[in-house]
Copies of this chain bind each other. A is one copy, B any other.
Amino acid sequence: MDLAEKLIRTKGYNAFSYKDISVPLQIKNAAVHYHFPKKSDLGEEIILKTRNAFKKKYIEWEQCLPKEKLKNFIALYEKNQSLNLVCLVGALGSSYESLPDNMQTSLTKMSEEIRGWMQDVLKEGLKKKEFNFTETADEKTDVVIAALLSSLILDKVIQKNILKSVKASILKSI
């Protein structure tokens, strides 16, 4: 699953095959099919795994102040950047129409959960006067999650540290 996830997040879901997993692991193609009968089963499991990992994180951060939560969230992207990986939503979402139904559904649910969490963080920060941006929390949420998502893509394409700028801009404007 780790290998498959890395492949999805560098080459995309449609550009990797079970051979890309079986060869490095020195097993046969059919062994992969034993664990994940269909490629979409593997794809869905990876989404669920990522979603659970995020859930674990934000439970861990529950006692943090909003600004700290936001910084922790950005740190997740910095981790991805250091591993040269785009985020899963970006990797899969850009070819949403080509995804099997079960993957579309679980990707949508995960994305909604992340967005909902960020809305809560920004609202809490506004209430606690830790933040004082002029937009509504919902509007700000969408710029923040959108900008972070793309920054990992643009990092690769432009080969500049886009995430660094995005982080600076978010923290200054919040």
Contact = CB atoms under 8 A, between A and B. Distances in A.
Interface of A: 10-12, 14-15, 86, 89-91, 93-98, 107-108, 111-112, 115, 133-135, 138-143, 145-151, 153-154, 156-159, 162, 165-166, 168-170, 172-173
18 contacts: A11-B14, A12-B94, A14-B14, A14-B15, A86-B94, A97-B156, A108-B159, A134-B172, A134-B173, A135-B168, A142-B166, A143-B143, A143-B147, A145-B154, A146-B154, A146-B166, A147-B147, A149-B150
A169 to B, nearest CB: 4
B94 A91 contact: yes
Most buried by B among A108, A158, A170: A158
State the number of copies, please. 2
B151 A165 contact: no
Contacts of A15: 14, 95, 98
Contacts of A159: 108
Contact of A146 (B96, B139, B150): B150
Main secondary structure of the interface of A (DSSP, over half): helix
Nearest to A107: B157
Given A11-B95, A115-B158, A158-B115, A138 B165 contact: yes
A96 B156 contact: yes
A148 to B, nearest CB: 8
Contacts of A154: 89, 93, 111, 142, 145-146, 149
